[in-house]
A and B are shown apart, each in its own frame.
Chain A
Amino acid sequence: MTGVVEAAGISKWYGEVLGLNGFSASFGPGITGLVGPNGAGKSTLFKLLIGQLHSDQGTLRLLGENPWNNVPVKRRLGYCPEHNTLYGWLTGQQFVEALLRLDGMPRSRAEKAAEDALKLVGLSSAAQRPTRTYSRGMRQRAKLAQALAHRPEILILDEPLSGADPLARVQILRTISDFAKAGGHVLMSTHVLYEIERVTNNIVLINNGKAIAAGDIHSIRALIDEHPHAVRLETPQPRQLAQALARMEHIVSLEIPEEDALLVRTRKPDAFYRELPAIVADTRLEVRSLESPDDSLDAVFRYLVG
């Protein structure tokens, strides 16, 4: 299967400073979250993808093409940079329109397309205001509008949520989800891990210029062997339940952190979840709640990046 983005051994150096160092990953379609610590190489990857930088080593394909110096592929992508400075004297409408005209769109169509894009991100009411009066959430949405306006196939969004208030966050995430539902691809980075999890399970984890994991969060989590999967069960009979569960071969430890809870650590979470209903149902033990504090992007990030 070929991904929307195919990267094989890409390296990019800024003199001695590391940008990317043998980054290989294949991802898409749909929404992919790019997560990693500061300085991991996220922005470098974005700039390579939009053709602003040329990699020193390796091959990169975006929508099957080499993005470097490739104008046709730029028409097919929309990009939101991280920084939040716009041309403050332009209105939202003028800003999006001007960028569309750079795309080669005639004035009459650009006006309409800008209006549509601003409506999509919920900025219609502020479209005629100069962007310097915008709050940060509104700036983020104006940037998203200009990325969307020429109807690209893939959106590349660098921290599209930072500084946005809760209303703007919801609007932005909804716009992104709708775009993906309509068949578009999205690559977005964010530092707030639970926001990624709300729109996708597919992530690329990047650290020190390398992709250290790519794919479904839960599958990645299952691959991390050295940290057995923890599941917390709330039950009035933790000792009896522990006894019943101890028969499972993949259980690593059973712990009673409180008198009405049982903490199970298992090496094979899938097997555990598959077998658990039968054991609970057959022993007629009471289990009031079940949660895994461990099966999240946050846990994956913690275990793989530290």
Chain B
Amino acid sequence: MLVETKNLTKVFGEVRAVDDLSVAIPEGAIGLVGPNGAGKTTFLRLLLSLLQPTAGTAKVLGRNILDGVPLRERIGYMPEHDCLIPDMTGVGLVAFMGRVSGLDADSAIGRAHDVLQFVGVEEERYRKVAEYSTGMKQKVKLAQSMVHDPQLYIFDEPTTGLDPRGRTEMLDLVRAIASSPGRNVILSSHLLPDVETICKYVVILDGGHQIAAGDLHDLLTGAADRLRIDIRGDREAFVQRLREAGLEAEAGPTGVHVGRRPGVEAEVFQAAKALGAEVRYMGREIRSLEEFFLELVARNEGKGA
């Protein structure tokens, strides 16, 4: 298990930010999802041993979170907010953070160059961080979390403020780290499609509780196995024709949904041919993480009220 908590609770004054949370998170690429105020940041800071729990216990990588120092040797953290020291150079900062993690001075410089190369900070690494663009700063933040080669990476909203190119690059880097053997990633993000493409397992928090957790694929594949078709042409006639062929078909905002059974694809192309319509997309219907999330949160609110 990557993270195991038992009745973990953290109270700030009146607010129960994390409330009696018991989770068992397997190793791998983990998505951490929840609305604002769900307790995600508090949970991450508890895992990093930056906060002491009010009650309950937790283990990260098999170690008690009260262990602090030895635990943080194995974790790389990329905070959401700016956190770089502006008057240091990129390579100087990453090497410095390596040394604060326990690397000797020479190895730290070597590692700093390796990880900056990996994240794609080239000549800029000799310039001061204060002069960097947002994208470059974000990459240095990523690099500093990698310098001591941790087993667990905690990324808090890593794509915040990035433009489309920067986002793609950052997501590719996170994906590359998540797919390296023996390396685990906890990705906290509001952009659920990003979580969907990177993570294999999700934990959904709301109000300090876990409201769902599990393998992403299992969570999103509902019992109803349906086909989604994006059709250009006479949609009504197309649906009508499929129904005449004895299929369950209905038109929705995201396309035409057809109940699955052997040979359904052939019927779709037959219908399209007869109507002169174009099939722009055809594939298994999977709920998006967002749909799933919204449903869950709505249900959870209903329970609370």
Instruction: Return the 3 tightest CB-CB contacts between A and B, nearest first.
Output: A277-B272, A273-B278, A135-B36
A192 on the B face (CB < 8 A)? yes
Chain A contacts to B: CB under 8 angstroms: 35-38, 135-138, 162-170, 191-194, 270, 273-274, 276-278, 280-282, 284, 286-292, 295, 298, 301-302, 305-306
Question: Closest Cβ of chain A: how far from B61's Cβ, in Å?
Answer: 28
Is the CB–CB distance between A167 and B135 below 8 Å?
Answer: no
For A36, A136, A163, which residue has the most chain B Cβ atoms within 10 angstroms?
A163
Is the CB–CB distance between B276 and A289 below 8 Å?
Answer: no
Question: Closest Cβ of chain B: how far from A237's Cβ, in Å?
Answer: 13
Question: Closest Cβ of chain B: how far from A198's Cβ, in Å?
Answer: 10
Is the CB–CB distance between B164 and A165 below 8 Å?
Answer: no
Question: Closest Cβ of chain B: how far from A15's Cβ, in Å?
Answer: 18
Is the CB–CB distance between A166 and B280 below 8 Å?
Answer: no
Interface size on B, residues (CB 8 A): 41
Q: Complex Cα distance A164/B37, Å? A: 12
Q: Complex Cα distance A54/B277, Å? A: 49
Residues of B within 8 A of A270 (CB): 278
Indicate with 1 or 0, residue by residue over B21-58, a CB within 8 angstroms of chain A CB atoms: 00000000000011111000000000000000000000
20 sampled A-B residue pairs with Cβ under 8 A = A137-B35, A162-B161, A163-B160, A166-B35, A166-B290, A166-B293, A166-B294, A167-B35, A170-B290, A170-B294, A193-B164, A270-B278, A273-B280, A274-B278, A281-B266, A281-B272, A281-B273, A289-B284, A295-B280, A298-B164
Which of B133, B134, B191 lies in contact with A192, CB distance below 8 A? B191
Q: Complex Cα distance A82/B35, Å? A: 21
Residues of B within 8 A of A301 (CB): 164-165
Check A164/B164 contact, CB under 8 A, given A277-B277, A286-B265, A290-B283: no
Question: Closest Cβ of chain B: how far from A232's Cβ, in Å?
Answer: 10
Is the CB–CB distance between B273 and A305 below 8 Å?
Answer: no
Extra 5 A-B pairs, beta carbons < 8 Å, given A38-B135, A273-B280, A281-B270: A165-B190, A280-B273, A290-B283, A301-B165, A305-B165
Considering the complex, which residues of chain B in the window 265-305 have a beta carbon less than 8 Å from any beta carbon of chain A?
265-266, 269-270, 272-273, 276-284, 290, 293-294, 297
Is the CB–CB distance between B193 and A280 below 8 Å?
Answer: no
Residues of B within 8 A of A135 (CB): 36-37
B247 on the A face (CB < 8 A)? no
Residues of A within 8 A of B266 (CB): 280-281, 284, 286
Is the CB–CB distance between A280 and B35 below 8 Å?
Answer: no
Residues of A within 8 A of B284 (CB): 289
B6 on the A face (CB < 8 A)? no
Q: Complex Cα distance A138/B36, Å? A: 9
In the complex, what residue of chain B is closest to A302 when comparing beta carbons? B168
Is the CB–CB distance between A37 and B36 below 8 Å?
Answer: no
Which of B36, B165, B193, B269 lies in contact with A287, CB distance below 8 A? B269
Q: Complex Cα distance A192/B37, Å? A: 23
Residues of B within 8 A of A167 (CB): 35, 294, 297
In the complex, what residue of chain A is closest to B297 when comparing beta carbons? A167
Question: Closest Cβ of chain A: how far from B304's Cβ, in Å?
Answer: 14
Residues of A within 8 A of B88 (CB): none
Is the CB–CB distance between B269 and A288 below 8 Å?
Answer: no
Question: Closest Cβ of chain A: how far from B137's Cβ, in Å?
Answer: 12
